[in-house]
Amino acid sequence: MKQKFQTFSACAMRLLPIVFTFLLTIILLKQIELYATLTQLLDALYPVFGGVVIAFLLQPIIDRLQLHMKNKTAVVLVYVSILFIVLIFLIALLPILYRQIVDFSKFLPEWTMKIETFLKQYDIVLEQLSKYKNSIMEEGTNMVVTSLRSMFSTTAKYGIAYITAFFISIDLDFWKRSAKKLFHNYHQFVTFYKTMSNIVYQYLIGTLLDLGFVAVTSGVILYAADFPNVLLYAILLALSNLFPYIGPTVGLLFVILVGALSYDVLPWFAFFLIWLTQQIEANFVQPMIFNKTMDVRPILTFVALFVAEALFGIPGVLLSPIFASIMQIAFRSYLHAKTKDTIGKWEDIWYDFDEAMKDIPIPEDT
């Protein structure tokens, strides 16, 4: 226990000067009226930062294709394929999803009245529900529609980021040569980058397979039960599954609530089958895909939630568990690069967090 406390104290003492300097810099920039200008500059450079992230996430796929073809051919093949998949989604699935979300918003007033009637039957009076019912409905509908419109309005920004990522990937050899000349610990940096790239690739592929399993099985079950807006709720159940512990339960309870408001007789058997598929996913499918559970630290989930919401809005909130997992993968890849010279694999870095912290030497008291 004492050793853990000393390790935590050492890390905190290293972070405090950085945090203090950051806050002091913001205060000084505001005093000399440069903060707003720099904020606008950062917003203008947002597509560049996004391009770096996209290039990093796609590089593992490019690296694997380079074993069979030239670098530029692999880059073009990956980016054209991703663009083709996105276009199929935009043309085929997005209009359906948009209609189902709008349809969901239209049912909200009717469902609110049913909830209010149910509460009155049991003499449960919620003054806030009655008082703010209309405003809540209007704001809820506007929020859904506005969020969808904002997604369309930022398409150009993400398009620029994607083009930026393409040129970064094409010119990656130049960046490697530059980094080799600029950084004296280049070998350690390469170990960190390749380890993180390798693990992130495995994690993203595994996550897509896991989400696909939940979405397809849930969608088939709901479709067989004649559930309304099947695509919307199947995607919702899949995304809620990203949140550990309570996510699958909250998603299922929400679908049950929608069913209670939509049906005279609840399709309990369908809900049971969804619950059963969630148990199969958690106890068999996910361990088979990842070999070991992620066990993401709660503080990383909160940090990723706030940052992703600020950058991407509601879609960022839904995808924040993925960002939190990548943050933890980055930290563990850094620990691996600090202690090992070989490129880490999944089983190399995914050991217990406390064991990883033991590899960091504790500075002696002076």
267 token code pair:
């399709």
Task: Specify whether 237 is located in the same domain as 354.
Answer: yes
- Terminal Cα-to-Cα distance of the chain (whole angstroms): 21
Task: Return the higher-pLDDT residue of 2 and 54.
Answer: 54
Task: Specify whether 210 is located in the same domain as 154.
Answer: no
66: three-class secondary structure by DSSP: coil
Beta-carbon contacts of residue 308 (< 8 Å; ≥ 6 apart): 316, 317, 319, 320, 323
- The answer to whether the CB of 203 falls within 8 A of the CB of 325 is yes
Dump pLDDT digits (tens) for 153-193: 667 777 888 888 898 888 877 777 777 777 777 777 888 88
Task: Specify whether 94 is located in the same domain as 159.
Answer: yes
Distances (CA, A) of 253 to 56, 144, 247, 250, 362: 37, 20, 10, 5, 47
Query: Is 70 exceeded by the pLDDT of residue 312?
Result: no
Task: Specify whether 229 is located in the same domain as 361.
Answer: yes
Query: Is 60 exceeded by the pLDDT of residue 143?
Result: no
As a whole number, mean pLDDT of residues 204-220 equals 89
Task: Specify whether 109 is located in the same domain as 121.
Answer: yes
Whole-structure pTM over 0.85, yes or no? Answer: no
Q: Which of 140, 166, 182 is the last residue of a domain?
A: 182
Dump pLDDT digits (tens) for 296-306: 777 777 777 77
Task: Specify whether 175 is located in the same domain as 192.
Answer: no
Task: Specify whether 316 is located in the same domain as 273.
Answer: yes
Phi-psi region of 317 (alpha: psi -120 to 50; beta: other; left: phi over 0): alpha
* 324: exposed, middle or buried (Cβ count in 10 Å: 0-12, 13-18, 19+): buried
As a whole number, mean pLDDT of residues 85-89 equals 84
Q: Measured between alpha carbons, how far is 331 from 204 in angstroms, rounded to an integer?
A: 17
Q: Which of 132, 158, 182 is the last residue of a domain?
A: 182
Confidence of residue 366 (pLDDT cuts 50, 70, 90): very low
As a whole number, mean pLDDT of residues 222-245 equals 85
Task: Return the higher-pLDDT residue of 261 and 129.
Answer: 261
Chain-wide mean pLDDT for the chain?
76
Q: What is the pLDDT of residue 147?
A: 56
A 10 A CB-CB count for 242 gives 21
Most confident of 1-5, 73-77, 96-100, 109-113: 73-77
Confidence of residue 77 (pLDDT cuts 50, 70, 90): very high
Task: Specify whether 98 is located in the same domain as 210.
Answer: no
Q: Measured between alpha carbons, how far is 35 from 29 in angstroms, rounded to an integer?
A: 5
Number of domains forming the structure of the chain:
3
Domain range enclosing 324: 183-366
Q: What is the pLDDT of residue 295?
A: 67
Secondary structure (H, E, C), 220-254: HHHHHCCCCCHHHHHHHHHHHCCCCCCHHHHHHHH
Confidence of residue 152 (pLDDT cuts 50, 70, 90): low
Task: Specify whether 243 is located in the same domain as 170.
Answer: no
Query: Is 90 exceeded by the pLDDT of residue 80?
Result: yes
Task: Specify whether 27 is located in the same domain as 108.
Answer: no
Confidence of residue 85 (pLDDT cuts 50, 70, 90): confident
Task: Specify whether 222 is located in the same domain as 366.
Answer: yes
Q: Measured between alpha carbons, how far is 111 from 116 in angstroms, rounded to an integer?
A: 9
- Compute the CA torsion angle 145, 146, 147, 151 (nearest 10 deg): 100
Task: Specify whether 191 is located in the same domain as 163.
Answer: no
DSSP 361: P
